Amino acid sequence: MRIVSGVSLLTRGDGVAKEIRRAEALFEAACKAGDWNGCINRAQRYMDGDSEKELVVAADLFRRACDAGGMVGCLELGLAHRYGGGVKQDAKLAAQLVARACSGGFFTACSLGAAPLRRAEIS
């Protein structure tokens, strides 16, 4: 996590030269190595884009983060499925992913729309 936190400084130029491409490559390497923080940081960069293709890439990175144990990734992927951002809209899968994030200790997921998602799962 410390490496990913340090790399974040490169994206902002916070006390170091701003090097977006280098930071992106390091985030991707971290993600490929199983560090979910790297996946999340890469996904956030794609979420800032305008195209559906970028949302598809972001959703895949959130899935990789979730699979690696990053509950933030599970929540973000759940929200993507809820609203259809880069993935097929699927209320049941959205509810399952948000519940996974909540039960995994990411308590923001517990309060951020979990009840409406559960209702959607039932209907």
DSSP codes, the chain? -HHHHHHHHHHHTSSS---HHHHHHHHHHHHHTT-HHHHHHHHHHHHTSSSHHHHHHHHHHHHHHHHTT-HHHHHHHHHHHHHTSSS---HHHHHHHHHHHHHTT-HHHHHSSHHHHHHHHH-
Specify the higher pLDDT residue, 24 or 117: 24
Q: Is pLDDT above 60 for 106?
A: yes
Task: Read off the pTM.
Answer: 0.79
- Each residue's pLDDT tens digit, 33-59: 999 999 998 998 888 777 899 999 999
**Class for domain 2-122, per CATH?**
mainly alpha
